[in-house]
Structure formats: structure tokens, C-alpha cells
Amino acid sequence: AELDLLGISDGMHRDVEKILITEEEIRMRLDVLAQKVLIDFADEEIVVVILLKGALVFAADMCRRLPVPMTVECLNVASYHGDIKSSGKVEFLDAKLPEVGGKKVLVLDDILDTGLTMRAVIDRLGELGAREVRGCVLLNKLKVRDVECEADYKAFDIEDEFVIGYGLDYRGRFRNLPYVGVMKSEVIE
Ligand code: 5GP
Ligand code: MG
Ligand code: MG
């Protein structure tokens, strides 16, 4: 029975082809990234907007590295619908959007890919009256964006391939991997 338990805990790791960014690399890089954010956001209350669900793990680690007065909001946006390709449009799924009027806002997302999500969110928060909106992502895919959009802060540049872990999913799974990696091709349905 104990061996079975070990087998279960290994279950998610065995679907991983390779690890791109280790836990240790993430920790060290976030320490540096947080310092950069702090230089720009040091002296006033900020609103941190977390894009669910992908940015949850990244946001938990980033918020705790930003010792400034903040409120935390979450936004439910959809563009990927759990699969490996972008659907090309961004939907805001919340009945009520955060109150950001006059505020300085830091948007946290897991990854900048086509740029559609970050672009749509920054634009919408601007329409809601935010005084300034900056984007911060864990991963920056090196590719031509579908829309003009770059993050103000990014932890890692990566190649244009589908990644999982540290919040990023494939069909809802793998968000709990502590590192960023690539799936084995046989996992893709
Ligand atoms: P966008 O294409 O709008 O820049 O990215 C939208 C969302 O697609 C991201 O927030 C993320 O949730 C998802 N996404 C983009 N690239 C990847 C990837 O390589 N792996 C995973 N798991 N999700 C991705
Ligand atoms: Mg996302
Ligand atoms: Mg997803």
C-alpha cells in the first residue's frame, strides 16, 4: 500500500518530458523580479489583479515578495479553454469587475503568448478608470504576438512551445507541478 502511494505521487511527474525551469530557478528569479516591481510601486497602495487560474501559483509567490500596501483581486478570463491552442478571443467571465478607479494596478499572468489576454485586460482596466496598469508575467514566449502587447515585467523568456506546471495546465491538470516543463507527446489527447 505504501508503494502504491509513492506510485500515485509520482503520477504527474512521469507525464513530463523535460523540466525547463526548476523550482530553485523560479525562486531566485522571483526575488530579483520583485525588486524591480518594488522600485516602481514602492510608495503607494496598489491593486494586484490575478488572472485565474494560470497565475495563481505565480501570484502567491509574487505577492509575498512585495511588502507594500495592496489589495488583491482576481479576474476570470478565458482564451485557451483548457487546450493547447488559443481560441483567438478573450472573454471576461466575472459578473462584477474589480474597482480600480484612480488606482495603480499590477496585472499578474502566467504567460504571454499571443498577447490577447494581457492586451484585453490592460485595456479593460484602463476603461474602468485605473490610473496606471502594468503587466507582469512568469513566462514570455518569444514569438510574434497577434496583438501589440509586451509585459512590463517578465521572469523568463521561453521558446514557443506548450508548457505546463507552476500554475499552467493541460486540460485542467498539472497546475500543481512545482516547476515549468513540457509534457510527453503521448499525454496530448
Ligand atoms: P495569450 O495567448 O492571450 O497571450 O495567453 C492566454 C493564456 O493562454 C495564458 O494566460 C495561459 O493561460 C494560456 N497559455 C498560453 N500559452 C500556454 C502554454 O504554453 N501552456 C499553457 N498551459 N497555457 C498557455
Ligand atoms: Mg491564463
Ligand atoms: Mg489553461
Catalytic status, residue 113: yes
- 169 touches ligand 1 (CB under 6 Å): yes
CATH of the domain at 60: 3.40.50.2020
In a domain, 2, yes or no: no
Return the amino acid letter for 126.
G
Atom 15, ligand 1: residue with shortest CA distance? 113
In a domain, 107, yes or no: yes
Q: In degrees rounded to 5, what are phi and psi of residue 115?
A: 90, -10
Q: What is the C-alpha separation between 175 and 168, in angstroms, rounded?
A: 5
Structural domain count of the chain: 1
- 168 touches ligand 1 (CB under 6 Å): yes
Q: Model-level pTM greater than 0.90?
A: yes
From the list 156, 154, 164, the residue with the least C-alpha distance to 184 is 164
What residues pair up with 180 in beta bridges, in sequence order? 21
In a domain, 8, yes or no: no
Q: Per residue of the chain (189 residues), what is the pLDDT tens digit? A: 454 555 555 678 999 999 999 999 999 999 999 999 999 998 789 999 999 999 999 999 999 999 999 999 999 998 865 566 777 789 999 999 999 999 999 999 999 999 999 999 999 999 999 999 999 999 999 999 999 999 999 999 999 999 999 999 999 999 999 999 999 999 988
Q: What is the C-alpha separation between 158 and 168, in angstroms, rounded?
A: 14
Domain interval for residue 69 = 13-181
Q: What is the C-alpha separation between 61 and 138, in angstroms, rounded?
A: 11
pLDDT for residue 89: 82
| Cα 132 from chain centre | 20
